[in-house]
């Protein structure tokens, strides 16, 4: 009996270890660390199928960093790429006008000629990555911290120069494990990337900020682009002569859907995690930084939402701003709940106790780590106050009160003018004009005045006086509310774009220099000066010292865990996360399924509520149940969850099944798992993907752009067929 019990226990442990998986793994090291477990969980391919540099194609050749911080993947041999709607949002918006409102109505290029170029947008393919730790750390033994840093920087430059192969490649050298390792990442950058298709926001952003970070989810969060190249398939600036890029590899798309327990893998570019920070910092994030930033954004959102409700024009002007303010604001709230639920600070303290025990046993506590923790105590004590001030300045001055951005740009110009930088002046003026005209396109003075009157006093009421310029204290003691607005905004020219434009174009030097005395410019300068001279330098120095101590602490953790697989924090480079399709139990008595369907979209449908206003055409398709081969059990799958460890940057990443086929496009995480950047919980952390069958349905049935399917490779029922086929797909999944 005992034996049987033991056996069952061992079996359960085994099962447990093979479900939800923490970790964002380096593709180069799969064989060493994770491949055998991935295969036990069902993965049918090899490590070389994911990443190889032996000249043959692997999945990495079908995955890109899209723009500044998303992921995208190739889905045809003709350069067709899929990413999230929210990743292509600014491109879709930039092509939108009142007559052709692609954000509202969606966009589908009817032919290659109709695909829309996007100046400034690029995608990059990873050619290879390599461990360059020994080159970067060469000659750094026994140097002082400053000398070491300088030596490392110069070594990095050498490594990067060589890898760039005469500037043919874009190169990044990045630290891993807080500088215990360094990797070089070599990219080929394609600069002609055109918009091919996007669903209306009512599908691509369905549920809006209300459903954001939440499960169950019903968002068709995807958009399509095409990469173009010169006649040799090499990167080129936009030209009508460019041709569709031919990738080494693209993903076949599975019509088979997903079942609970199916193996899944996410291959993408997670941006930033902090899994190894000490208890001190978790405490500061949980009890100070997140609450501070939430409180400031509460105010911003309250003001902006009210303005958006009151006027449809303001809704358009502020929708992107609202979305980005709200995205992190909501995530921080989930993060607090998750960290509290996990008792994260105490868990970290426990870990630190274990660490100390280990170090004492090894006889290295006194000599190496005791001082590291003493340093943490001192450094975080200083950091706490300064990061509070820094958070306030960054939320209120640098990206809160909108006219401060104009002030910054004007001040910068005036400074250059003062320094007689005549040569640069013309081009400066031109770029300032471009920047300001797009700024004012989305600017509403009354809204900004509200932001000003509400946010500015928060600086004074919440920060210690040493973090404030005397100028601000005096200003606020004399003027409040309406009076404050009159005193500052009322006397400024900054919000009057036509006047500003004329001044910039025709004003003489004296008139321009006078802008310095504009009350907004003056206030901004006082604040910014205080920030740059008394707050930011301390934050920088203390953060650097913390990082130096983290390097030692991390080295200790790596020794303590020698022999165990360990993944470095995310750094916006290619990583593999693997897990299973699975739902979760968010609270006692509640169980979430792993998938949602179009039925759920209709249940949320409400033309009165902006976020839930389902397009008529989608309602019709639902009513006639015209789901074609994309159906499962009489309904249409929309999204699913899986236990892959992901973060910001993973948006748009391919969700890949055991055979290496695309089953979904990653776009979010669930509410109960939003603390995963700091502490992962296998019970609660789930990534959210749009089911690829919903994507195909929308392209084919909703948009009538089925011709795009012709160039894709659809796989179903064990067959591999190109484009529109009559596959008898085994659509049993959810
Ligand atoms: N939360 C997701 C991410 O961090 C999606 C954000 C876009 N969607 C939105 N409703 N704002 O990027
Ligand atoms: N939505 C995120 C992104 O845009 C993904 C995440 O944070 O889970 O990258």
Give the Å distance between the CA of 577 and the centre of ligand 2: 14
Q: Which of 649, 652, 672, 676 to mutate to test the pocket of ligand 2 (most atoms within 8 A of CB)?
A: 649
Check 85, 86, 218, 645 and give the catalytic one.
86
- Can you tell me which atom of ligand 1 is nearest the CA of 86? 7
Question: pLDDT digit string (tens) for 664-697?
Answer: 999 999 999 999 999 999 999 999 999 999 999 9
Could you tell me the CA-to-CA distances from 233 to 20, 245, 403, 579 in Å, in that order? Answer: 40, 6, 45, 35
Give the Å distance between the CA of 462 and the centre of ligand 1: 29
Give the Å distance between the CA of 213 and the centre of ligand 1: 7
- The DSSP symbol for 25 reads B
- Can you tell me which atom of ligand 1 is nearest the CA of 668? 2
More confidently predicted of 530 and 427: 530
Please indicate whether residue 454, judged by its CB atom, sits closer than 6 Å to ligand 1.
Answer: no
Average pLDDT over residues 86-113: 91
Check 76, 326, 651, 676 and give the catalytic one.
651
- Can you tell me which atom of ligand 1 is nearest the CA of 209? 10
- Burial (CB < 10 A; 0-12, 13-18, 19+), residue 315, is middle
The question of whether 422 is a catalytic residue gets the answer no
CA angle, residues 454, 459, 460, in degrees to nearest 5: 100
Encode 3-42: b = buried (16+ Cβ within 10 Å), e = exposed: eeeeeeeeeeeeeeebebbbbbbbbbbbeebbbeebeebb
Average pLDDT over residues 711-718: 82
Average pLDDT over residues 408-430: 80
pLDDT reading at 8 higher than 60: no
Q: Where are the alpha helices (DSSP H) in 106-225?
A: 133-137, 145-163, 201-204, 208-211
Residues contacting ligand 2 via CB (< 6 Å) = 646-651, 667-669
Q: What is the pLDDT of residue 720?
A: 43
Question: pLDDT digit string (tens) for 560-609?
Answer: 999 999 999 999 999 999 999 999 999 999 999 999 999 999 999 999 99
Average pLDDT over residues 374-395: 98
* 8 Å CB contact between 243 and 231: yes
Q: First CA to last CA across the chain, in angstroms?
A: 39
Give the Å distance between the CA of 657 and the centre of ligand 1: 24
Q: Model confidence at 465, in pLDDT bands (50, 70, 90)?
A: very high
Q: What is the pLDDT of residue 728?
A: 33
**pLDDT over 70, % of the chain:** 94
HSE value, Cβ hemisphere, 13 Å, CA-based, for 4: 1
Please identify which residue in the block is written with the tokens 């996990």.
Answer: 342
Q: Model confidence at 1, in pLDDT bands (50, 70, 90)?
A: very low
**pLDDT over 90, % of the chain:** 85
Please indicate whether residue 668, judged by its CB atom, sits closer than 6 Å to ligand 1.
Answer: yes
pLDDT reading at 9 higher than 50: no
Average pLDDT over residues 468-493: 95
The question of whether 221 is a catalytic residue gets the answer yes
The C-alpha atoms of residue 596 and residue 574 are separated, in whole angstroms, by 29
Nearest to 642 by CA among 275, 268, 262, 87: 262
Nearest residue (by CA) to ligand 2, atom 1, is: 668
Give the Å distance between the CA of 215 and the centre of ligand 2: 14
Average pLDDT over residues 79-85: 98
Beta strands in 500-659 (DSSP E): 575-580, 584-587, 590-592, 595-597, 637-642, 654-656
Question: pLDDT digit string (tens) for 688-708?
Answer: 999 999 999 999 999 999 999
Nearest residue (by CA) to ligand 1, atom 6, is: 327
Q: What is the pLDDT of residue 169?
A: 97
pTM of the model: 0.93
Average pLDDT over residues 287-293: 98
Question: pLDDT digit string (tens) for 253-278?
Answer: 999 999 999 999 999 999 999 999 99
Please give the mean pLDDT across all residues of the chain.
93
Cis amide linkage into residue 216, ω under 30° from 0 = yes
Least trusted range by pLDDT, from 121-125, 141-145, 217-221, 304-308? 141-145
Question: In the chain, what are the domains?
Answer: 19-122+191-270+577-670+679-734 (2.40.10.120), 279-559 (no CATH)
The C-alpha atoms of residue 47 and residue 177 are separated, in whole angstroms, by 23
Please indicate whether residue 208, judged by its CB atom, sits closer than 6 Å to ligand 1.
Answer: yes
């Amino acid at each position: 009996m005992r034996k049987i019990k033991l056996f069952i226990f061992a079996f359960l442990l085994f099962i447990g270890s093979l479900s939800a998986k923490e970790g964002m793994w380096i593709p180069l090291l799969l064989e060493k660390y994770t491949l055998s477990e991935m295969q036990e969980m069902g993965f049918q391919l090899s490590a070389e199928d994911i990443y190889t540099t032996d000249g043959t194609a692997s999945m990495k050749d079908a995955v890109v960093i899209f723009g500044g911080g998303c992921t995208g993947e190739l889905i045809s041999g003709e350069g067709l790429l899929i990413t999230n709607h929210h990743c292509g949002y600014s491109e879709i918006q930039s092509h939108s006008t009142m007559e052709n409102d692609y954000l509202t109505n969606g966009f589908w290029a009817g032919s290659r000629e109709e695909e829309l170029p996007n100046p400034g947008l690029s995608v990059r393919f990873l050619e290879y990555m390599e461990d360059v730790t020994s080159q970067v750390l060469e000659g750094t033994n026994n140097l002082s911290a400053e000398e070491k840093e300088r030596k490392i920087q110069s070594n990095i430059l050498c490594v990067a120069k060589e890898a760039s192969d005469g500037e043919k490649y874009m190169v990044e050298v990045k630290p891993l494990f807080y500088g215990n390792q360094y990797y070089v990442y070599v990219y080929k950058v394609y600069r002609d990337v055109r918009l091919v298709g996007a669903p209306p926001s009512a599908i691509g952003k369905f549920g809006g900020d209300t459903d954001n970070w939440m499960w169950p989810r019903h968002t068709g969060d995807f958009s399509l682009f095409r990469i173009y190249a010169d006649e040799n398939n090499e990167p080129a600036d936009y030209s009508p002569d460019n041709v569709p890029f031919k990738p080494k590899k693209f993903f076949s798309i599975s019509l088979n859907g997903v079942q609970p327990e199916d193996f899944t893998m996410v291959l993408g570019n997670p941006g930033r995690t902090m899994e190894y920070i000490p208890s001190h910092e978790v405490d500061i994030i949980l009890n100070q930084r997140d609450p501070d930033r939430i409180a400031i954004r509460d105010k911003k959102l309250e003001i902006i939402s009210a303005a958006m409700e009151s006027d449809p024009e303001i809704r358009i002007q502020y929708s992107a701003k609202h979305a980005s303010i709200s995205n992190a604001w909501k995530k921080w709230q989930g993060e607090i709940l998750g960290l509290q639920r996990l008792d994260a600070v105490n868990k970290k303290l426990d870990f630190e106790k274990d660490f100390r025990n280990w170090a004492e046993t090894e006889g290295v506590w006194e000599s190496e780590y005791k001082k590291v923790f003493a340093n943490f105590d001192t450094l975080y004590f200083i950091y706490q106050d300064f990061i509070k001030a820094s958070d306030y300045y960054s939320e209120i001055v640098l990206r809160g009160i909108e006219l401060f951005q104009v002030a910054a740009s004007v001040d910068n110009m005036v400074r250059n003018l003062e320094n007689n930088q005549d040569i640069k002046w013309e081009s400066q003026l031109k770029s300032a004009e471009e920047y300001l005209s797009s700024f004012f396109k989305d600017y509403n003075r009354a809204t900004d005045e509200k932001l000003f009157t509400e946010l500015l006093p928060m600086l004074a009421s919440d920060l210690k006086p040493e973090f404030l310029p005397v100028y601000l204290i005096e200003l606020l003691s004399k003027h409040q509310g309406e009076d404050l607005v009159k005193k500052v905004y009322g006397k400024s020219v900054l919000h009057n774009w036509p006047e500003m434009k004329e001044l910039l174009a025709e004003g003489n030097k004296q008139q321009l220099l006078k802008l310095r005395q504009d009350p907004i410019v003056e206030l901004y300068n006082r604040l910014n000066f205080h920030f740059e001279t008394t707050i930011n330098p301390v934050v920088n120095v203390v953060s650097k010292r913390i990082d130096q101590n983290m390097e030692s602490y991390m080295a200790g953790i790596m020794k303590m865990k020698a022999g165990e697989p360990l993944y470095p924090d995310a750094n916006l480079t290619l990583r593999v996360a693997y897990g299973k399709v699975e739902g979760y139990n968010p609270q006692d008595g509640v169980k979430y399924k792993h998938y949602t369907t179009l039925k759920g979209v209709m249940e949320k449908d409400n033309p009165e509520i902006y976020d839930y206003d389902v397009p008529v055409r989608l309602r019709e398709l639902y009513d006639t149940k015209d789901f074609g081969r994309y159906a499962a059990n009489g309904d249409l799958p929309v999204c699913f969850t899986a236990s892959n460890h992901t973060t910001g940057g993973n948006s748009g990443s391919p969700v890949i099944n055991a055979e290496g086929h695309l089953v979904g496009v990653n776009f979010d995480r669930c509410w109960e798992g939003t603390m995963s950047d700091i502490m992962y919980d296998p019970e609660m952390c789930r990534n959210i993907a749009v089911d690829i069958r919903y994507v195909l349905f929308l392209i084919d049935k909703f948009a009538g752009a089925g011709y795009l399917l012709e160039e894709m490779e659809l796989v179903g029922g064990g067959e591999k067929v190109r484009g529109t086929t009559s596959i008898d797909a085994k659509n049993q999944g959810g």
